[in-house]
Amino acid sequence: MLRKSLAVLYTALALGANPAAADVAALRIGDMKKLALHSAPVNLAEIALLDADDNPASMTDYHGKWVVLNFWATWCAPCRHEMPSLDRLQAALPDIAVVPVATGRNAVPGIQKFYAEAGITNLPVVRDPKSELSRSASVMALPVTLILNPEGQEVARLIGDADWDSDSAKAVLSALAAQ
């Protein structure tokens, strides 16, 4: 009991006087316990990305929306495991942009084949072939997911895979978007 009380106290102190952040933190259960909420937004570098047709893409295309930015690769087993839940999240919360960024060497035919095999129908193909965005965001392993506010700033980070269409994930994202 004392340990649980101390954990609640430390969480409250870590979140400071931000009751909205405390409310969001309380919604984190299951895989969402791994979601680290930042005390202040962190700017994301503006790095040129590519779509499936080698056309320029950018995270600035998503400014004005809350974004679930997932760094992944076709060769990454945990990434492949979580991708269907990201697809279902996009279907469940269409006002939030779910943007998977294939980091490093990921051939477009391989991405498209994986999307077809996994039934991914709601997510765009976005690529960071030189890993410039992932490096600038200090992504050291895959998968990593960043939550971006409508200004394109990182407000939370989850390292590892997660069940993104869980009730907890949807509640956390909905609460953030309501702020």
The band of 137, judged by pLDDT with boundaries at 50, 70 and 90, is very high
Say if CB 125 and CB 111 are below 8 A apart: yes
Adjacent-strand bridge partners of 36: 157
CA atoms within 13 A on the CB side of 93: 25
Cα separation, 64 vs 116, whole angstroms: 30
Where b means 16+ CB within 10 Å and e means fewer, 137-147 reads bebeebbbbbb
Cα separation, 84 vs 80, whole angstroms: 8
pLDDT, mean over the chain: 89
Domains and CATH numbers, the chain: 2-177 (3.40.30.10)
Cα separation, 152 vs 67, whole angstroms: 8
Q: pLDDT tens digits for 76-105? A: 999 999 999 999 999 999 999 999 999 999
Say if CB 50 and CB 57 are below 8 A apart: yes
Residue 135 has pLDDT above 80, yes or no: yes
Residue 115 has pLDDT above 90, yes or no: yes
